[in-house]
Amino acid sequence: MSISSYDSYLFHEGNLQEAYRFMGSHLRNISSTTFTEFCVWAPNAESVQLVGSFNQWSGEGYELKKFNNEGLWTITIDQNLYGETYKYKILSANGNTYMKSDPYAYFAEKRPQTASIVYDLNSFSWQDEKWLKKRSATPHYENPLFIYELHLGTWKKEDGSFLSYLELADQVIPYVKEHGFTHIELLPITEHPFDRSWGYQSTGYYAPTSRYGTPEDFMHFVNKCHLNDIGIILDWVPGHFCKDAHGLYQFDGSYLYEYENERDRENYTWGTANFDLGKGEVQSFLISNARFWMEKYHIDGFRIDAVANIIYWGNQDKLVPNEGALSFLKKLNHAVFEYEPCALMIAEDSTDWPQVTAPVHYGGLGFNYKWNMGWMNDVLEYMETEPSKRRDVHSLMTFSLLYAFSENYVLPFSHDEVVHGKKSLLNKMPGDYWQKFAQYRLLLSYMIAHPGKKLLFMGSELAPFSEWKDLEEIDWGLMDYEMHHKFNSYFKDLMHLYKGTNSLYELDHRSEGFEWIDVNNANQQIFSFIRRGKQREDFLVVVCNFSSKVYHHYKVGVEEAYVYEEVWNSDDERYGGSHQINPIPLTVHEESYHGRPCYVEMTIPPYAAVYLKPSKAEGEDREWRKKNV
């Protein structure tokens, strides 16, 4: 048996990072003979039998034995069982029998079937060495990062059926690349029984769901993303799991993976069970799982779901920190960055817990990014406010800059904001048809200019009126309509501008990258500020008008320059706007304004964002714009 006493010790201690090398099922070869090994953790079982398609689902003669008289059970079958289905038949101490799929299985039957499948992951030929080398040498902080959040089952369908991993690779990747996204974040693709859980309630943490194909097919998808310079992030759920009978819940008749105490165990909000994150074997299971996806599937990082549910004990009258879970998060992040220093570890955290994105050795939780849920909620509340009343909620748009640099943030407009009756981003905008599109363009231009990396849920680039319908594909027919087509062109141009403008991303996480010009103009609902790059002379002036009025000869205080040139205007007629643009370079008046040494007079379009770029000397402006924007 491949397991050693030292492996077993590390597993129980919570420090085994590669448990998948002996847990689960494995094909072994010795002297041209192939046999199959199985290992499962079931410390409170009276007996464990291996049942499957190879023995007519009868466990007689297929009894597992305890390893070192501990909680691990093993068996070696003198056959090559590749492709065979199997489960563990567990007799508990209370006399009940449980038929369980393998927690460490590499592959599983397509739902509604629930058996595990003996599989090998070593046959795929990876071609992404260039990407992996570049990834390891390129920190994310000073580079553009815009994530396309994707649900594989509803991006597109053929005759109502799912596309395969192979079909998705051929269709999604060119589309994502055309639109300028840097990464794809996949809603959970670990095996799960219920489509409408979107993968957030898993039974097979080591198995990419068979809905879309085989493990090699998913490897092909990741490989092709990397060959096209697109990173892959997995949405990952280490906090809780579903309670289906074949899964982790009461695995050996006891509360094994979950807390024993009901108040701690039961996640009433989602109808799931919380992992006992203070238990060593559970830590080894989950930390090994993160390492597994990175090693075997070349995954570039993880978005950790429901971190608030991990940080604090559930079902309490007040917020009480879960020290065991906090230690787990630190151990997890330390292990991931030890394996890949430039991995992405993104916390979906709605709490104000300090130092979420500070390194563990500095007392932090060790993530390198955190979703800015406060920014998202405040901005959407402001946008959904009747424009005539926005002056009364002005601080919703300014509050985020009080804490924008306390963590490394991702600004998310995710699936959670466009489902379950919340309306699409476009339809959240008040007003008539034209006003909705104008304000949506403004919203995304403001998002691009605000400090922080970015995330957008699939379909939002088409400006749908309908929210996400989680059983149907994206509204692709929208591209037949003029305003939606123009919006899509606008989005691609905005992404091109973002990725080509250093000042929009280089100092996302440093206060010197942002300066207010005028933060107090609540009556006119205009916000103006500067975004800076690492070079002091590299900056943009951003002016956002959240009112329906157009303002001519509007004064904006600026830094010294020869002229300022408009490099972006969301009101351009090409995008469906009213074309209140600034077509010629703006003259700089050498008179103090807004606390700046100079000012320009410009046209401020209705419901629009304008970006201005300075030119230092006469004649330089056109060539300088060509080089830098």
Q: Which residues are catalytic?
A: 305, 348
What residues does 157 pair with on adjacent strands?
Answer: 162
Give yes or no for a contact between 543 and 526, defined as CB atoms under 8 angstroms apart: yes
- DSSP labels for 432-474? SHHHHHHHHHHHHHHHHHSSSEEEEETTGGG--SSPP-TTS--
Token look-up 């799931």 returns 272
Cα-flanking dihedrals φ and ψ of residue 206, to 5°? -105, 5
- How far, rounded to the nearest angstrom, does the alpha carbon of residue 301 sit from its chain's CA centroid? 9
- Taking residue 278's Cβ as centre, other Cβ atoms within 10 Å add up to 17
Q: Using omega within 30 degrees of 0 as the cis cutoff, is the peptide bond preceding 112 cis? A: yes
Whole-angstrom distance, CA of residue 20 vs CA of residue 583: 61
Strand ranges of the sheet holding 72-77, from the earlier edge strand across to the other edge: 24-30, 33-41, 72-77, 65-66
In the structure encoding, which two tokens stand for residue 59, read together? 């466990």
Kindly write down the DSSP assignment for every residue of 510-547, as one continuous string: SGGGEEEEE---TTTTEEEEEEE-SSTT-EEEEEEE-S
Task: Name the residue among 210, 234, 163, 170 with its Cα closest to residue 474.
Answer: 163
Q: Do 104 and 19 contact (CB within 8 A), yes or no?
A: yes
What sign results for the dihedral spanned by CA atoms 212, 217, 219, 225? negative
The CA–CA distances, whole Å, from 270 to 118, 197, 306, 418, 595 equal 31, 10, 11, 19, 52
Closest listed residue to residue 24, CA positions, set 296, 250, 207, 215: 207
Q: How many whole angstroms from its chain centre is CA 323?
A: 25
Q: Tell me the two tokens of residue 2.
A: 């491949």
First-residue to last-residue Cα distance in the chain: 60
The pair of three-digit structure tokens given for residue 598, joined into one six-digit string: 């100079």
At 326, is the secondary structure helix, strand, or coil? helix
Q: Determine phi and psi for 549, rounding to 5 degrees.
A: -90, 150
**Cβ contact 561:616 at 8 Å:** yes
Residue found under tokens 């300066």 = 515
Quickly count: other Cβ atoms within 10 Å of residue 563's Cβ.
Answer: 19
Which residue from 146, 205, 202 is spatially nearest to 177, judged by alpha carbons?
A: 146
Calpha distance 261→580 (Å, rounded) = 63
